[in-house]
Amino acid sequence: MAQVEHSRPAPDEADLAGDGAPPSAIYLTPIAPPVTLGLFGFFASTMVVSTWLLGWWGTPTGSPATMFEIAAFFGGVAQFAAGLWSFRARDYIGSALLTMWGTYWMAWGFLQAFAAAKFITIPPLSTPQPGFAVWFIPLALFTSWGAIAAIRENVPLFTVLATVGSGSAFVCGGFWAGSPTWIHVGAWLFVFGACFAWYTGAMVLLEYSWGRVILPFGVIPGLMKLPGAANRPGARIAAPVEYALGQPGTRHTP
Amino acid sequence: METAIRRPVRTTKPEARIFLQPVAAPSVLGYFALGSGLIIWGSWFAAGWGTEQDPSSFFPFLLLFAGVGQLGAALWAYRARAGVAAALHGSWAAFFMGVGLIYLLVTTHTIVAPARGDAWQSLGQWLIYMSVISLTTAVAALARSPVGFVAQAVLAAGSAFAAAGLLLPSASLQEVGGWLFVAAAVFGFYAGAALMLDSVYGIAVLPLLRRGKAEPVEYVRGDPGVKVGQ
């Protein structure tokens, strides 16, 4: 009997207060990387709309009517969903910024849908639009904060957030003042950011699928979390737990 | 003043476990939904059948099955640890939801969409990036799924031809793109069916070049989720 009593842990001070915590464990659940879909949605939507803003294709008033639908779903819904899964991935940057930009593209889709239905009229770029410009104040601010956080992650992700954050600031100023030049500078920065978004999404997806580095991660050793080996194609930087003959979820990349 | 009740404070790390949770392969639904959208829209886009009014009849199917249904598969792919499936099905689900919405707005006379064979700059732009994304997921799929690689590589080629056909414009390039979408759908159907039969029978009924016989962990007298199936 005494042996049984001694096999239990001695009650600590909290137990004596009647407020003891039950035994606990932390469950870690592996999932596929959500950032890839989110960045692909951002990449495609940003490229289509930014190149249109730069006048590379289409017409100023005719194109948005058949352009906003996919942007609302790909840059919007899909990127938003990836942002929500980033919470499960314990990714602070993805959970905040993919979700934020996902809502931006959905909101932009709403605006264009209202214009297509002739509920509102969207003026040309040379007309000040402060009501739209203010959208880009929080976008510029929080994306730039994300860039500072990404200094601990990798150079491509930092570049995405730094260029998109500064591009948002230019676009904000451009729409506020009715300056097509500032908007074009912002659109160029968006194009650069979108290309790096594709690279970052592909980099993560290819490493996850092949189990080794395919596209270099751009890690600055000592400053960033990943080891310097992440810059070397062919290097293995992860050792996922899996049961290879099991169902999806128990094995890595079914 | 000191409070009477003190909250318990843990100063040591609690025990940690990695939990692997098996789920049904989301790519079965994903490939079925993707293939259905591609075969209907692709064959129509290739001028294989119908008139300019037919999207008003098939847009709900594109919007809901190829779109929402495929998005459901993409979201479950995260839990299945299927990075390629999440990216591929998430991207194409969004594309088909967008295309479905375009034809919904055309049906309600809110917007006007160009006829087949004509220039359609905005859709052509979208298809450029769908091609880039599909090629990226194809290269990733090559690591473990040769069938998935073929389906996605053909899909990328179809997107590129369709984009060129819409931007130039060229009716013949649009037709090539549309039929490549149909070919990608056939490979997708094969991949989805093979995954389904593989999980039901536990052996490779249709070859997927998978390594080893499947041996899922289950308690066959348990509830769904504890046993495989219902």
Residue B195 has a pLDDT of: 87
Residue A23 has a pLDDT of: 79
Chain A residues in contact with B10 by the CB 8 A cut-off are 21, 24
Pick from A44, A198, A243: which is nearest to B126 by CB? Answer: A44
Contact B83 A198 (CB under 8 A): no
Chain B residues in contact with A33 by the CB 8 A cut-off are 83
C-alpha B146: how far from chain center: 16
Bridge partners of A251, per DSSP, are A248
Check pLDDT > 50 for residue A29: yes
Q: Which residue has the higher pLDDT, A110 or A4?
A: A110
Question: Cα separation of A52 and B126, whole Å?
Answer: 12
Give CA separation, B150 vs A34, A35, A60, A154, B141, in Å.
24, 24, 39, 32, 9
Residue A37 forms contact with B (CB below 8 Å): yes
Question: Would you say residue B78 lies in a domain?
Answer: yes
Tokens encoding A55: 């006048």
For A160-188, how does the pLDDT look when each residue is reduced to its tens digit (9 = 90+)? 999 999 999 999 999 999 999 999 999 99
Chain A residues in contact with B18 by the CB 8 A cut-off are 27-30, 241
Question: Would you say residue B214 lies in a domain?
Answer: no
Question: Would you say residue B3 lies in a domain?
Answer: no
Helices (H), A8-91: 13-16, 35-53, 68-70, 79-88
Question: Would you say residue B222 lies in a domain?
Answer: no
Kindly report the nearest CA distance between residue B49 and chain A, in angstroms.
23
Contact A58 B19 (CB under 8 A): no
Chain A residues in contact with B120 by the CB 8 A cut-off are 66
- Taking chain A, what is the end-to-end CA distance rounded to the nearest angstrom? 52
Helices (H), A54-179: 68-70, 79-88, 92-116, 130-133, 136-150, 155-177
Q: Of B32, B60, B29, B58, which Cα lies nearest the Cα of B45?
A: B58
Residue B209 has a pLDDT of: 57
Kindly report the nearest CA distance between residue B108 and chain A, in angstroms.
10
Residue A42, C-beta contacts closer than 8 angstroms, at least 6 positions apart: A75, A79, A98, A101, A194, A197
For A216-242, how does the pLDDT look when each residue is reduced to its tens digit (9 = 90+)? 999 999 999 999 999 999 999 999 888
Region of A128 (left: φ > 0; alpha: ψ -120 to 50; beta: rest) is beta
Q: Of A201, A171, A209, which Cα lies nearest the Cα of A98?
A: A201
Q: What is the pLDDT along chain B (230 residues), one digit of tens a residue?
A: 455 566 666 677 778 899 998 999 999 999 999 999 999 999 999 999 999 999 999 999 999 999 999 999 999 999 999 999 999 999 999 999 999 999 999 999 999 999 999 999 999 999 999 999 999 999 999 988 889 999 999 999 999 999 999 999 999 999 999 999 999 999 999 999 988 888 777 777 777 655 556 777 888 888 877 877 77
For A54-103, how does the pLDDT look when each residue is reduced to its tens digit (9 = 90+)? 999 999 988 999 999 999 999 999 999 999 999 999 999 999 999 999 99
Check pLDDT > 70 for residue A107: yes
Tokens encoding A120: 């509102």
Please name the amino acid found at residue B220: V
Check pLDDT > 60 for residue A157: yes
Q: Quick check: A245 and B203 in contact, CB under 8 A?
A: no
Domain that holds residue B104: 27-201
**3-class DSSP state of B91:** helix
User: What value does the mean pLDDT take over residues A38-66?
Assistant: 95
Q: In terms of C-beta density within 10 A (0-12 exposed, 13-18 middle, 19 or more buried), how is residue A47 classed?
A: buried
Check pLDDT > 50 for residue A1: no
Helical axes B27-45 vs B171-201, angle rounded to 10°: 160
Residue A12 has a pLDDT of: 53
Q: Which residue has the higher pLDDT, A252 or A15?
A: A252
Cα-trace Rg, chain A: 24
Helices (H), chain B: 27-45, 55-61, 70-79, 83-107, 121-141, 146-167, 171-201
Question: Would you say residue B126 lies in a domain?
Answer: yes
- CA dihedral (B82, B83, B89, B94) in degrees, to 10, reads 140
Kindly report the nearest CA distance between residue B107 and chain A, in angstroms.
13
Contact B98 A25 (CB under 8 A): no
Question: Would you say residue B108 lies in a domain?
Answer: yes
Question: Would you say residue B227 lies in a domain?
Answer: no
Q: Quick check: A95 and A87 in contact, CB under 8 A?
A: yes
Q: In terms of C-beta density within 10 A (0-12 exposed, 13-18 middle, 19 or more buried), how is residue B68 classed?
A: middle
Question: Would you say residue B175 lies in a domain?
Answer: yes
The DSSP code sequence of A27-46 is: EE-----THHHHHHHHHHHH
Question: Cα separation of B131 and B157, whole Å?
Answer: 7
Chain A residues in contact with B79 by the CB 8 A cut-off are 31, 249
Residue A6 has a pLDDT of: 43
ipTM for the predicted complex: 0.90
Residue A171 forms contact with B (CB below 8 Å): no
The tokens 């402060």 sit on which residue? A130
Q: Is the peptide bond before B169 cis (omega within 30 degrees of 0)?
A: yes
Question: Cα separation of A225 and A238, whole Å?
Answer: 13
Pick from B5, B15, B113: which is nearest to A17 by CB? Answer: B5
Question: Cα separation of A49 and A61, whole Å?
Answer: 13
Give CA separation, A98 vs A111, A140, B29, in Å.
20, 14, 25
Residue A254 has a pLDDT of: 62
User: Total domain count for chain B?
Assistant: 1
